[in-house]
Amino acid sequence: MIPYAVLFLWQFPHFMAIAWMYREDYARARYLVLPHHEPAKSRAVDWQTLLPLSALVLLCLWLAFESHPSTLYGIAASLLSLGFFYYGVQFVVRKSNAAARRLLAASIIYLPCLFVLMMFSRG
């Protein structure tokens, strides 16, 4: 059940990074993925990036202390989540294509690494 929650929460920042990088292309195609009035000032982009990332950090910390996996899992999952959160904050603050690319890269790295940690912490 927990991997599904992680996957669900992971999608929003991942999608916001892609939507930001290709916002001009989406606008030309009249495909609305970001608020159409000044997306750089939109709080919706900020919330849809940071709220799921905050929940991911809390979820990983809860898993580290509540379900008593290995110490390595707790530390590594917390560091991964905090790193992902850091890139989300950088994207929200800067709102640039470079920050969006870094957030996208962090999202692509985060999920497989977390699943590998989950697999190795079971045994």
Query: pLDDT tens digit string along 65-92?
Result: 776 667 788 888 889 999 999 999 999 9
What is the DSSP code (8-state) at residue 34? S
What is the DSSP code (8-state) at residue 36? S
Structure tokens at 24: 């001009």
52 contacts 12 by C-beta, under 8 angstroms: yes
Determine the structural domain holding residue 117 and report its residue range.
2-31+44-121
Compute the average pLDDT of residues 90-105.
96
* Residue 62 counted as domain residue: yes
Q: What own/partner pairs with CB < 8 Å and gap ≥ 24 does 70-79 have?
A: 70/120, 70/121, 72/117, 72/121, 73/117, 73/118, 73/120, 73/121, 76/113, 76/117, 77/114, 77/117
Tell me what pLDDT residue 111 has. 87
Q: Which pLDDT band holds residue 114 (cuts at 50, 70, 90)? A: confident
In the chain, the number of structural domains is 1
* Residue 93 counted as domain residue: yes
* Residue 37 counted as domain residue: no
